Amino acid sequence: MLLNLALTANLPGTPNEAVFARIRATARHRRIAWISAATRLGLKYFSRARVRWEACGFTDLEFCDIDQAPDDRQLSELDRYDVIYFSGGDPLAFRRNIVQHRLGPRLKDFLKGGGLIVGASGGSLQFTKNVSLYRLETMALDKVVGEHAAFGGLGFVDYELLPHLNRFEPQFIETVRRYSEWVPHDIIGVADGAAVIHQSVDRYSIDGRSITFRNGKILSA
């Protein structure tokens, strides 16, 4: 199954030309729906986001609320956009709002219609197997592992994602390695500026610095 999806750590904060090339190749008009985890913070940062996207050559950015004031008509007509962008933000709040508004099937339809989804940080986590890595930053490993099943993502891809790889101390990377002993799939860590760019569920390339955790081992760096 084709999967027009790019998961990044912090695009466009750190530009990635491979993702921009995918947008240009996919988009007819390059109309982008910009979705954040929460209304208040989303509106606060949208103007800044628009400036960043315009600096990268993309001028048609539209705020799309899935929190306090969702527009049902807008959400039912996602096929009007060429790209849906999920910004950084609290992955748990993102997950709640996606579930509440039943966005999963709509996003699958959007992809089937040829649209492109791009995620950044907490937005990227939504499309993976699980969002528990975020909880691992503030909670004990045993608790996160024990509650892992309750924090499933949309599962569009068969791994978990650790964004901002370059920002973490070695101690946290070691905790992620230990966590990987308990999960039945890979964990891909990507540094700021890097991206996992999919052609299908199991066919993808990684542009930029990354490491992969599997069964308690770090496979690549």
Q: Spell 56-90 as b/e; 16+ CB within 10 A means b.
A: eebeebebbbbbeebeeebbeebeebbbbbbbbbb
Three-class DSSP labels, 92-111: HHHHHHHHHCCHHHHHHHHH
Q: What is the pLDDT of residue 117?
A: 98
List the CATH number of the domain containing 123: 3.40.50.880
Q: What is the pLDDT of residue 192?
A: 98
Q: Say how far apart CA 99 and CA 104 lie, in whole Å.
A: 7
Split at pLDDT 50, 70, 90, the class of 143 is very high
Average pLDDT over residues 165-187: 97
Average pLDDT over residues 28-49: 91
Average pLDDT over residues 157-163: 98
Q: Which domain does 97 fall in, by range?
A: 2-220
Residue 12, preceding peptide bond in cis (omega within 30° of 0): yes
Whole-number mean pLDDT of the chain? 95
Q: Evaluate if residue 221 carries a pLDDT over 60.
A: no
pTM given for the model: 0.95
Average pLDDT over residues 101-117: 94
114: left (phi over 0), alpha (psi -120 to 50) or beta: left
Domain count, the chain: 1
Q: What is the pLDDT of residue 86?
A: 98
Split at pLDDT 50, 70, 90, the class of 51 is very high
Q: What is the pLDDT of residue 1?
A: 64
Average pLDDT over residues 115-126: 97
Burial of 6 (0-12, 13-18, 19+ CB in 10 A): buried
Q: What is the pLDDT of residue 186?
A: 97
Average pLDDT over residues 209-221: 91
